Amino acid sequence: MSLPCLRPAILLLLLPFTARRVQSQTPAPAAPPAATQASPPSVRLTGYLQARETYRDGVGLTGSINRARLTAYGSVTKDVTWRLQGEFRTGSVGTGKASVSLQDAYIRYKTGDFGVQAGQFKTPFTREFITSLADVETADRSTVVDSIAPKRDMGVMADYAIGPAATLMLGVFNGEGQNVTANTDSTLLWVGRAVTRPIAYLTLGANAARYGSDSTRYGVDASLEYQGAALKSARLGVRRGLLITQAQVKF
């Protein structure tokens, strides 16, 4: 058989190998993107227990549950979170009366550096009060803070962070205190706080609260923390009419 007659047969034999080579060089079609699903709402539980044993002359040893708190918190969406906290305690030493109260119950929306929350929560007044008791250096907050600072209340608050350098907070509340839903006198409590951090280990804060025309509370605080050592101080004052009271707290 002559060479020209062999050409068609050789081409037929090479055709399958050529087809495989062309197919292997053709890029595979991209896989369809996976369907994106929103993360499901999350729920977490935390809490702490603080037991206390006290000795008093004429009474002896008396045990109590000073604080027992259970907290549930989570997210509804990426920008919306919530928090519920209840407190269970046996009351002050010697009374023996147990109590259950609602501490926090609020929903919070945060986008970027701006946030807003509504419900019952701590008013933004003084560093020591807004710091969790689990993180306070002493067993209890100072008497000055407990007597002057507004406590938890029902209302709405907005906050804005200016990068890592400063944070501004402003809230408006019923002014009736914790777990009181009615604003009996229609007077609102306004509370504002500004915090700045000029250097990494120094934090400065200033706050003011106004309830009606004859009650204004104010305060400044500073916190210096460096290599495990801390120096913290606060000065608070309250003005009722012409009466001005000032107090200072140091650690």
Same domain, 173 and 129: yes
* pLDDT given at position 109: 98
What are the φ/ψ torsions at residue 180 (nearest 5 degrees)?
Answer: -115, 110
Q: State the average pLDDT for the chain.
A: 80
Same domain, 151 and 83: no
| Of residues 230, 91, 110, the one with CA closest to residue 160 | 110
Task: Give bridge partners of residue 64 from the DSSP assignment.
Answer: 52
Same domain, 216 and 101: no
Q: What is the mean pLDDT of residues 70-99?
A: 82
* pLDDT given at position 245: 54
User: What span, in angstroms and rounded, lies between the C-alpha atoms of 225 and 199?
Assistant: 11
- Residue 29 covered by a domain: no
Same domain, 126 and 149: yes
The answer to which of 55-64, 80-89, 194-203 has the lowest mean pLDDT is 55-64
220 pLDDT exceeds 90? yes
Domain boundary among the residues 64, 91, 111 is at 111
Same domain, 130 and 238: yes
| Of residues 126, 122, 124, 123, the one with CA closest to residue 232 | 126
Which range scores top for mean pLDDT: 103-107, 197-201, 246-250?
A: 103-107
Confidence of residue 138 (pLDDT cuts 50, 70, 90): confident
Confidence of residue 93 (pLDDT cuts 50, 70, 90): very low
Q: Are 126 and 234 in contact (CB under 8 A)?
A: yes
187 pLDDT exceeds 50? yes
- Residue 46 covered by a domain: yes
- Residue 6 covered by a domain: no
* pLDDT given at position 97: 67
Q: What is the mean pLDDT of residues 190-212?
A: 93
List the domain range (segments joined by +) for residue 158.
114-251
More confident call, 76 vs 215: 76
Domain boundary among the residues 64, 90, 111 is at 111
Same domain, 197 and 241: yes
User: What span, in angstroms and rounded, lies between the C-alpha atoms of 117 and 28?
Assistant: 50
Same domain, 176 and 230: yes
- Residue 79 covered by a domain: yes
Is 129 exposed, middle or buried, given 0-12, 13-18 or 19+ CB atoms closer than 10 A? buried
Same domain, 104 and 122: no
- Residue 50 covered by a domain: yes
- Residue 11 covered by a domain: no
* pLDDT given at position 96: 55
pLDDT (tens digit, 9 = 90+) per residue, 3-58?
444 444 444 444 444 444 444 444 444 444 444 455 677 899 999 888 888 888 88
User: What span, in angstroms and rounded, lies between the C-alpha atoms of 193 and 212?
Assistant: 18
- Residue 20 covered by a domain: no
* pLDDT given at position 11: 40
157 pLDDT exceeds 80? yes
84 pLDDT exceeds 70? yes
Domain boundary among the residues 65, 83, 111 is at 111
Tokens read off for 84: 């519920």
Same domain, 90 and 161: no
- Residue 24 covered by a domain: no
Please state the domain count of the chain. 2
* pLDDT given at position 60: 85
Confidence of residue 82 (pLDDT cuts 50, 70, 90): very high
pLDDT (tens digit, 9 = 90+) per residue, 43-65?
999 998 888 888 888 888 888 78
Same domain, 246 and 166: yes
Same domain, 144 and 241: yes
Same domain, 193 and 120: yes
